[in-house]
Structure 1
């Protein structure tokens, strides 16, 4: 019986996927008050004046007239601090090593975030530190990032983030994951 169960786990569920943490939803990083405010927010018109945003030398997009404050919220969920998670998203490369592997990148909930204005709120951006590095051929390739999440304010020229994650593992999402 024991041998049958082990064989089922290895073959039926897949060894790699069975050992991974359950997926953390991006909304888990946002307080309920922010979730409610986003649900009530009108659609953003990318042809409007605020679509151009107001950039500064540091910190990325700053609050523009006409956009709700929730679009700039850095309110966090403190229960997530120090939690080991698996989060799916898309990379926005920031730093690479000598071999061209991304060692520092933002993880964002949808493809093209930070390229199009406005970027996600800071509590929907995670700075990922991955010293092993990952070769990124396409920023539209979804990733699973696993590691310890920290409530940490990060500000750079591109955007602000309310979380950082020290990644223990990063891998491309495959069809079997879906």
Structure 2
């Protein structure tokens, strides 16, 4: 597996991937949990509604038997193609819940307006005339194991910054601090269910 998995980068995505590497835990500061004005360090899993998390953790085992690059090597084909006629109704329902969670835009309402600190990888969207990043997605992982889909929209955060910056490497994670908003953004690179008003950006460290 690529080293580009962060602390808090979906403990469940390791389950989604069927990978064996362990995820590092993102520690909660424990400070100011009842104050919307205090910075709260969050895990990516904290952004998921409970039922989306449960669906992703309940990864259907049959997906691990799909040959990489085969016709069944997409979720759509898994549900609508050859596998759907060979599995039980219960397993089919699990697949449908799993697929829905992989494309979910549902959010945690209580996080709207919360000030958070979260690690992630920068996926540039727009640059200024000096090729500095002005607009980007923050994602929980960069790189993939076999059968790892892109992050769900509710595991992608959109950000736009006034202080444009040079991205030295897309493989280097960062910490972001700021105010989280429940706001969808959709473009050719992806879809996000959250947006962040960035107050601080720094290199990632454990």
* TM-score in terms of structure 1 length: 0.72
Change (3 A) 1:101 1:86: same
What CA distance in whole angstroms lies between the structure 2 residues aligned with 1:170 and 1:72?
28
Cα deviation code 1:86-133 (max 9, x no counterpart): 1101011001112222111100001137xx973110000001111102
| 2:127 corresponds to 1:92 | no
Residue 48 (structure 1) shift:
4.0
TM-score (norm 2): 0.63
Cross-structure match for 2:19: none
Unpaired stretches in structure 1, ≥5 consecutive residues: 1-19, 54-62
**Unpaired segments ≥5 residues, structure 2:** 1-37, 79-94
1:148 matched to 2:166: no
2:40/2:115 contact within 8 Å kept: no
CA 1:48/1:167 → structure 2, altered by over 3 Å: closer, same or farther?
farther
The residue aligned with 2:169 is 138
Match of 2:52 in 1: 34
Aligned length: 144
Q: CA deviation at 1:65?
A: 3.6
Pick the aligned partner of 1:64 from 76, 96, 105.
76
Matches within 5 A, 1:1-178: 21-42=39-60, 46-49=68-71, 51=73, 64-66=76-78, 68-112=99-143, 118-174=149-205, 178=206
